[in-house]
Amino acid sequence: MTPGVAADRDSGSTAGAKPRAQAGPGANNGLPPEAGQPPTAPGAAEWDEAVRLLLTAEDITLLAHVSPDGDALGSALAVGLALRELGRTVRVSYGDDPLVVPSSLEFLPGQDLLVPHTGVPDEPELVAVFDAAGISRLGLLESRAKAARTLLVVDHHASNTRFGTHHLIDVEAPATAVLADELITRLGATLTADIATALYTGLVTDTGSFKYVGTTPDTHTFAARLLATGIRHDLIQRAIWDTCRFGYLKVLAAALARAELDTDAAGGLGLVSTVITRAERAAHGIRLDEVEGVIDVVRKSGEAEVALVLKEDDDGALRASARSKGGVDLGRVCGAFGGGGHAFAAGFTAYDPPAEVVARFRDLLADALLPVAPAPANPGDDA
């Protein structure tokens, strides 16, 4: 990803001050489930029950995770548009205060469905949650999700804690949008261009525009079906990946100038890391959500298996984004900091000085090496 916002695929960007587990892109990054894990794709009975619940509920609340990325918000809005098309009473929200749509997602249709967290009932009848691996990802809406009579969890993270009463979880889906699409089809709604725009946003966000390992022939077939509705895929992609404010370039430049390469880290696989201070962001008027894409520039460093970006938030906490290329389980490393995510894309929040956080992170890498690192399909791209 690039400049812009929609890139929050790890965790570092949750609202609130406490460390919390976070989720990332492409569940499992498309790797097969670990040995011994049961198949986790929903069965026909689970789909049927989810459809029945949504078509019989009188009041439906759809939630994205806090600091929503394109997959979370796109999936929630897509299903919201479908349910409204079917005549259901539906709202969409997430637990940030204030509720602000990231600038890179301002084009998303269906935003008239959005309500602030205060607009969600205290004891909702039915809540469906999109792209959240754990209930802490709901931020200010966590307690109301717990109070819901029915809590349907729609997600693709291998780390999902199954915190609902009902679950549609497929850890091999490259995006929650894939599950949202299946749900919309089974609900019997028409795939409009607006719904397709929202789903495509989720799909390209979590597949990195179809370049991550989790992308399959089915992913492209899905994309083809979305494009057939006439959506402006070029404008969607530009908004998500190729648009930023000028000030972002200055913040990025400072972060890159400060980047450090440690080729001895991770058993010699290498670590590249940098920090973005809030003072720098403030000097250029750049919000935290606008620097999510810095990690995608830093991780290009071919000498480093692991990339780490520490982003100081407005309260002084460090939101960490970490990426590996297949040789290190960063979900495990970030878990040690109270965060989480996928093996190759994870994050955490820390409160110690940046140098201490980097040092501890570095120390943990040695114990998180994976036995076999898959060869990159296209070394010229990411490596």
Can you give the binding site for Mn ion, defined by CB under 5 A?
Answer: 71, 131, 176, 206
Tell the smallest beta-carbon distance from residue 208 to Mn ion (Å): 12
Tell the smallest beta-carbon distance from residue 131 to Mn ion (Å): 4
Cβ proximity to Mn ion: between 73 and 120 the closer is 73
Give strand ranges (E) for the chain.
60-64, 90-93, 126-130, 150-155, 166-169, 260-262, 271-276, 306-312, 318-324, 340-341, 345-350
Instruction: Enter the tokens of residue 246.
Output: 């000028």
Tell the smallest beta-carbon distance from residue 376 to Mn ion (Å): 22
Cβ proximity to Mn ion: between 10 and 312 the closer is 10
Tell the smallest beta-carbon distance from residue 358 to Mn ion (Å): 27
Cβ proximity to Mn ion: between 33 and 247 the closer is 33
Calpha distance 168→254 (Å, rounded): 42
Give the residue closest to Mn ion by C-beta: 71
Cβ proximity to Mn ion: between 134 and 270 the closer is 134
Cβ proximity to Mn ion: between 209 and 301 the closer is 209
Tell the smallest beta-carbon distance from residue 268 to Mn ion (Å): 32
Whether residue 38 has a cis bond before it, omega within 30° of 0: no
Tell the smallest beta-carbon distance from residue 253 to Mn ion (Å): 29
Q: Provide the 10 A C-beta neighbour count for residue 20.
A: 22
* β-bridge mates for residue 114, sequence order: 92
Cβ proximity to Mn ion: between 10 and 142 the closer is 10
CA-based nearest residue to 269, from 352, 373, 182 = 373
Tell the smallest beta-carbon distance from residue 173 to Mn ion (Å): 9
Helix (H) or strand (E) holding 255: helix 246-258
Cβ proximity to Mn ion: between 176 and 215 the closer is 176
Q: Are strands 271-276 and 260-262 parallel, antiparallel or unpaired?
A: antiparallel
Tell the smallest beta-carbon distance from residue 178 to Mn ion (Å): 9
Tell the smallest beta-carbon distance from residue 115 to Mn ion (Å): 22
Q: Which long-range contacts (CB under 8 A, 24 or more apart) does 108-111 make?
A: 108/73, 108/74, 108/77, 108/197, 108/198, 108/201, 109/77, 109/81, 109/194, 109/195, 109/197, 109/198, 110/77, 110/78, 110/80, 110/81, 110/84, 110/194, 110/198, 111/77
Cβ proximity to Mn ion: between 159 and 176 the closer is 176
Instruction: Enter the tokens of residue 367.
Output: 């114990």
What sign results for the dihedral spanned by CA atoms 85, 101, 178, 124? negative
Three-state DSSP class for residue 331: helix
Calpha distance 166→43 (Å, rounded): 12
Cβ proximity to Mn ion: between 140 and 177 the closer is 177
